[in-house]
């Protein structure tokens, strides 16, 4: 990128050149812009669900079995137009999807974020201090990663029982290892660089070296891995909910909605499963598009 060989005597580049560059290259990439726009729309829709949804799908008083399985575009006698139809319990599907999107995003994002923080702390400690702790942690990570995530989550959820909180715990238990591994690898590389030696030589406190020097330099790859894992987490949450081990039936996420409608798929009542499926695909697609581009932009080899 900038100033490769250091040939210019003065290099008057604007202060925040790096972030401008990130933004500009984002703006230049149609896929990235599309992915970002998609994500923003979905996030807004999830955030504003109580405002924009025609119905509160959690409020049993608003739901009537008499409205069950209405086709997309039909209006119920109550006066609500069911743009995407209703499900077997008479819930407005658009409302259910908006609320379900919320749950899917909250569960997978919080699980990813908690896993990120745990992985960051453990990975940094392992990379910086090394030794037995490092060896132990990396064995644990190896074992953890070699077992399929779905299996771990299934076992944990069977043991702990269902619930949103437990679902998050199960997902954190899977994803922390990926973060720990990548952070540890980056920290090992960064730790050997001379700016860390300089910090040691300047007698800076250890925590300061780890947090102010190492941590910030480990963040870009963590962000990239974070988006990949976020997309996976969305899918895993959907899978677990589909299997009935995730969120409670009264507060369906996208995965549970898909599961609910699955039985009707072959009998022509496609919409009950199909539209939540579309929403899930859009969410994963958006995260992946942004993540892919983030990976290009933050590629350490193109940096500095």
Partner 1 sequence: MLSSPRSATDLTSGEAARAAAGLRLVAPDAAGPVIELRGLTRVFRKPLDFAARAANLLGADIREEVVRAVDGVDLSVQPGEVVGLAGESGCGKSTLGRMVAGILSPSAGDIYFEGRRVAELKGQARRDYALAVQMIFQDPYTSLNPRMRIRDIVGEAPLVHGLTSRAELKAYVREMLSRVRMDPQYDTRYPHQFSGGQRQRIGIARALAVKPKFIVCDEAVAALDVSIQAQILNLFMELREQLSLTYLFISHDLGVINHLADRVVIMYLGRVVEEAETDELFARPNHPYTTALLDEIPRIETRRRVYQGIKGEIPSPLNPPSGCYFHPRCPHAMPVCREVAPPLKTVAPGHRSACHLNDRPA
Phi and psi at 272, nearest 5°, equal: -65, -35
Nearer to partner 1, 205 or 263 (CB): 205
How far apart are CB 296 and partner 1 at their closest, in Å? 18
How far apart are CB 207 and partner 1 at their closest, in Å? 11
Cα–Cα dist 254/52, whole Å? 18
223 and 120 Cβ atoms separated by less than 8 Å: no
Nearer to partner 1, 9 or 61 (CB): 9
Cα–Cα dist 167/103, whole Å? 11
226 and 118 Cβ atoms separated by less than 8 Å: no
94 and 82 Cβ atoms separated by less than 8 Å: yes
Q: Give the single-character DSSP code of 69.
A: T
- Our CA dihedral for 37, 41, 47, 53, rounded to 10 degrees, sits at 180
| 8 is a site residue for partner 1 (CB under 8 A) | yes
How far apart are CB 3 and partner 1 at their closest, in Å? 6
Structure tokens at 46: 């999830």
Which range touches partner 1 (CB under 8 A), out of 24-32, 169-177, 204-212, 255-263?
A: 204-212
| 24 is a site residue for partner 1 (CB under 8 A) | no
- Our CA dihedral for 200, 206, 207, 209, rounded to 10 degrees, sits at 10
| 203 is a site residue for partner 1 (CB under 8 A) | yes
- Given 86, 95, 104, 217, the residue binding partner 1 (CB under 8 A): 217
| 51 is a site residue for partner 1 (CB under 8 A) | no
Tally of CB atoms within 10 A around 96:
30
Which range touches partner 1 (CB under 8 A), out of 38-46, 70-78, 89-97, 213-221?
A: 213-221
| 18 is a site residue for partner 1 (CB under 8 A) | yes
Site string for partner 1, 52-91 (x = CB under 8 A): ----------------------------------------
Residue for token pair 């009707």: 264
Cα–Cα dist 3/123, whole Å? 32
- Given 13, 48, 81, 143, the residue binding partner 1 (CB under 8 A): 13
CB burial of residue 161 (10 Å; 0-12, 13-18, 19+): exposed
| 303 is a site residue for partner 1 (CB under 8 A) | yes
| 114 is a site residue for partner 1 (CB under 8 A) | no
Alpha helix segments (H runs only) across 53-148: 93-129, 131-146
Which range touches partner 1 (CB under 8 A), out of 146-154, 187-195, 260-268, 285-293?
A: 187-195
Which range touches partner 1 (CB under 8 A), out of 39-47, 71-79, 155-163, 191-199?
A: 191-199
Cα–Cα dist 300/70, whole Å? 53
Length of the chain: 304
| 204 is a site residue for partner 1 (CB under 8 A) | yes
Q: Give the single-character DSSP code of 9.
A: S
Nearer to partner 1, 30 or 304 (CB): 304
- Given 132, 201, 207, 250, the residue binding partner 1 (CB under 8 A): 201
Nearer to partner 1, 159 or 201 (CB): 201
| 28 is a site residue for partner 1 (CB under 8 A) | no
Cα–Cα dist 224/299, whole Å? 9
Question: What residues line the site for partner 1 (CB under 8 A)?
Answer: 1-3, 5-13, 15, 17-18, 193-195, 197-205, 208, 212-213, 216-217, 303-304
């Amino acid at each position: 990128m900038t100033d490769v060989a250091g040939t210019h005597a003065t290099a008057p580049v604007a202060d925040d050149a790096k972030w401008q560059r990130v933004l500009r290259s984002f703006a230049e990439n149609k896929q990235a812009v599309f992915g970002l726009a998609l994500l923003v729309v979905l996030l807004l829709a999830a955030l504003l669900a109580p405002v924009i949804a025609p119905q509160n799908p959690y409020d049993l008083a608003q739901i009537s079995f008499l409205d069950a399985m209405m086709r997309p575009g039909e209006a119920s006698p109550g006066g609500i137009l069911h743009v995407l139809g209703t499900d077997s319990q008479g819930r407005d599907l658009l409302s259910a999807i908006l609320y379900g999107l919320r749950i899917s995003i909250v569960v997978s994002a919080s699980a990813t974020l908690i896993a990120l923080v745990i992985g960051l702390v453990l990975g940094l400690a392992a990379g910086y201090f090394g030794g037995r702790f490092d060896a132990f942690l990396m064995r644990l990570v190896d074992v953890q990663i070699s077992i399929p995530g779905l299996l771990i989550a299934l076992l944990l959820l069977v043991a702990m029982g269902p619930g949103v909180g437990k679902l998050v715990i199960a997902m954190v238990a899977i994803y922390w290892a990926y973060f720990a591994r990548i952070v540890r690898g980056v920290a090992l590389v960064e730790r050997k660089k001379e700016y860390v030696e300089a910090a040691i030589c300047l007698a800076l406190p250890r925590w300061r070296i780890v947090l102010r020097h190492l941590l910030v330099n480990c963040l870009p790859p963590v962000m990239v891995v974070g988006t990949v894992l976020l997309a996976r987490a969305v899918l895993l949450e959907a899978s677990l909910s589909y299997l009935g081990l995730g969120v409670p039936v009264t507060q369906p996420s996208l995965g549970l909605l898909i599961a609910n409608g699955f039985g009707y798929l072959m009998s022509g009542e496609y919409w009950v499963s199909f539209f939540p499926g579309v929403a899930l695909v859009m969410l994963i697609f958006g995260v992946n598009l942004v993540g892919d581009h983030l990976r290009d932009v933050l590629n350490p080899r193109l940096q500095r």
